[in-house]
C-alpha cells in the first residue's frame, strides 16, 4: 500500500468513528421519542412528572447544542486531516505560521461565550422553575428520611409512617395533587433519585432539602439512592407507587390502622416482643417502639423487603430475620441467632402485620 493510500484509509476510519458516534446520538434521541407509559426501567428519557419533564427538555436542548458543536468540530478535524495530510511532494519545511488574527480570536472567544450564556440561562430557568413551584392546596406532604440503607416515609398530615415503598396519588392536570417531599438524613448523605419523576436531591444531615413530584399516571416508578452512603448503597432502592385517588385513600386508611392482632400468631408475637427486635422496630399498638429500623406495623402491605433488596415472600422474610447479610451483606440489622422453631413462629407473626 502506498503512503497516500494509508493516510486515506486512516481518514476513513476517523470518519467511520464519527458516524458511529453520531449514530449513538440519533439512537438516544429516538429512544426519547418512544411514547411514555409506566415502566419499571428508571428511564431518564421518559419523564412522567413536571420536574423530570423540565429537566428532560433542558437536556435535549443541551444535547442538540453540543451535538452541533461536535459535528462542526469533528468535520473540521476530518477535513483538515484529509486535506493537509503529508503528501509525497512534501519537502519537510515548516509551513507559514499565522499569529494574532483578530477575526479568528474574536470568533473563538465570542461564539463559545454566547453558547455558554445560552446554556447557563436555560439551566437557571429550569432550576428556578422547579425550586419555586407553588404548593397547591391539595398537595401531599411527605418527610423522607434516608437511613443506611433504607427509606423512612412520614406523612405528618395523614398520620402515616412507613418505609421503603412510597405511595403518592396520581396528579392530573385538572386536579393537581403533587407530593412535596422534605428530605432529611439520619446518618450520612443519601440522594433521592427517581429518574422519571424528578432530578436528584441529596439528603444531608441537619440540612433539610426539598423536592416534589406530580406523576401524571399510575404505576410503579423505580429509583435508587444516588449518593454513595456505605456498603449497601447499591441495595438502597426507591419504589414510588403512584395510585389513583381512590387507591391512595384506601392505602392511607389501611396504614392508619393499628397492627392486626391474630391469636394464631401469639407465640411469634411473644418472641418478637421479648427480643431486641423492639429496640429497633415499631409496631403500633404494641410495646415495639424502636426507630432505628423500618416501621413494621404494615410490613405485609409492602411488595419488597429491605429497600427493594428482595421480594416480600415467606422464605425471604425468614431468611432475612435469620441472617440479614444473606440478602444484604453489611446491613445494619444484626442476625439474632434464633432457633428454627422461634424463626418459624416469628415469621408467622410478621406475616399477620398487614
Q: Which residues bind ligand HEC (CB under 6 A)?
A: 149-150, 163-164, 232, 272, 275-277, 279-281, 292-294, 296, 299, 302, 305-307, 320-321, 328, 331-334, 336, 346, 350
**Angstrom distance (rounded) from CA 82 to CA 244:** 61
Among ligand HEC, Cu ion, none, the one that 193 touches (CB under a kind-dependent 5 to 8 A) is none
CB of 256 to ligand HEC, least distance (A): 18
Q: What is the DSSP string of 7-47?
A: HHHHHHHHHHHHHHHHHHHHHHHHHHHSPP---SS--TTS-
Please answer whether residues 129 and 122 qualify as being in contact, where contact means their C-beta atoms are separated by less than 8 angstroms: no
Q: How many CB atoms lie within 10 A of CB 285?
A: 11
Among ligand HEC, Cu ion, none, the one that 31 touches (CB under a kind-dependent 5 to 8 A) is none
Among ligand HEC, Cu ion, none, the one that 190 touches (CB under a kind-dependent 5 to 8 A) is Cu ion
Q: Which is nearer to Cu ion, 170 or 307 (CB)?
A: 307
**Angstrom distance (rounded) from CA 270 to CA 176:** 46
Q: Which is nearer to Cu ion, 197 or 236 (CB)?
A: 236
**Angstrom distance (rounded) from CA 239 to CA 40:** 10
Q: Which is nearer to Cu ion, 144 or 299 (CB)?
A: 144
CB of 217 to Cu ion, least distance (A): 27
Q: Can you give the three-state secondary structure of 223-279, one letter per residue? A: EECCCCCCCCHHHCEEEEEEECHHHHHHHHHHHHCCCCCCHHHHHHHHHHHCCCHHH
CB of 338 to ligand HEC, least distance (A): 6
Among ligand HEC, Cu ion, none, the one that 213 touches (CB under a kind-dependent 5 to 8 A) is none
Under the rule (CB under 5 A), what is the footprint of Cu ion? 190, 225, 229, 236
**Angstrom distance (rounded) from CA 16 to CA 31:** 23
CB of 242 to ligand HEC, least distance (A): 20
Nearest to 145 by CA among 190, 93, 199, 177: 190
E strand map for 79-159? 140-147, 150-155
Q: Which is nearer to Cu ion, 229 or 296 (CB)?
A: 229
CB of 29 to ligand HEC, least distance (A): 38
Among Cu ion, ligand HEC, none, the one that 225 touches (CB under a kind-dependent 5 to 8 A) is Cu ion
CB of 319 to ligand HEC, least distance (A): 11
Q: Which is nearer to ligand HEC, 18 or 319 (CB)?
A: 319
List beta partners, residue 155: 160
Q: Which is nearer to ligand HEC, 15 or 332 (CB)?
A: 332
**Angstrom distance (rounded) from CA 47 to CA 53:** 5
Amino acid at each position: 500500500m502506498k503512503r497516500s493510500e494509508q493516510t486515506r484509509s486512516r481518514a476513513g476510519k476517523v470518519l467511520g468513528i464519527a458516524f458511529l458516534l453520531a449514530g449513538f446520538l440519533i439512537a438516544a434521541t429516538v429512544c426519547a421519542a418512544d411514547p411514555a407509559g409506566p415502566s419499571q426501567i428508571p428511564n431518564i428519557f421518559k419523564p412522567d412528572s413536571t420536574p423530570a419533564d423540565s429537566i428532560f427538555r433542558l437536556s435535549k436542548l443541551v444535547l442538540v447544542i453540543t451535538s452541533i458543536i461536535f459535528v462542526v468540530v469533528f468535520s473540521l478535524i476530518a477535513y483538515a486531516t484529509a486535506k493537509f495530510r503529508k503528501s509525497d511532494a512534501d519537502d519537510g519545511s515548516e509551513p507559514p505560521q499565522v499569529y494574532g488574527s483578530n477575526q479568528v480570536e474574536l470568533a473563538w472567544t465570542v461564539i463559545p461565550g454566547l453558547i455558554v450564556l445560552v446554556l447557563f440561562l436555560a439551566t437557571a430557568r429550569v432550576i428556578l422553575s422547579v425550586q419555586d413551584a407553588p404548593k397547591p392546596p391539595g398537595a401531599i406532604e411527605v418527610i423522607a428520611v434516608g437511613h443506611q440503607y433504607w427509606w423512612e416515609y412520614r406523612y405528618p398530615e395523614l398520620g402515616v409512617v412507613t418505609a421503603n415503598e412510597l405511595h403518592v396519588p396520581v396528579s392530573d392536570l385538572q386536579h393537581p395533587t403533587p407530593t412535596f417531599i422534605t428530605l432529611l438524613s439520619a446518618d450520612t448523605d443519601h440522594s433521592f433519585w427517581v429518574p422519571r419523576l424528578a432530578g436528584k436531591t441529596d439528603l444531608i444531615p441537619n440540612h433539610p432539602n426539598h423536592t416534589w413530584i406530580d406523576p401524571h399516571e399510575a404505576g410503579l416508578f423505580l429509583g435508587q439512592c444516588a449518593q454513595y452512603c456505605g456498603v449497601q448503597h447499591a441495595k438502597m432502592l426507591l419504589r414510588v407507587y403512584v395510585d389513583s385517588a381512590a387507591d391512595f385513600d384506601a392505602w392511607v386508611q389501611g396504614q392508619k390502622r393499628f397492627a392486626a392482632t391474630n391469636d394464631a400468631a401469639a407465640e411469634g408475637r411473644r418472641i418478637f416482643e421479648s427480643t431486641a427486635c423492639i429496640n429497633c422496630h415499631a409496631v403500633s399498638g404494641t410495646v415495639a417502639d424502636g426507630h432505628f429500623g423500618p416501621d413494621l406495623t404494615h410490613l405485609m402491605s409492602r411488595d419488597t423487603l429491605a429497600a427493594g433488596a428482595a421480594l416480600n415472600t415467606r422464605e425471604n422474610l425468614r431468611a432475612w430475620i435469620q441472617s440479614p447479610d444473606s440478602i444484604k451483606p453489611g446491613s445494619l440489622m444484626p442476625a439474632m441467632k434464633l432457633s428454627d422453631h422461634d424463626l418459624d413462629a416469628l415469621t408467622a407473626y410478621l406475616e399477620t402485620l398487614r
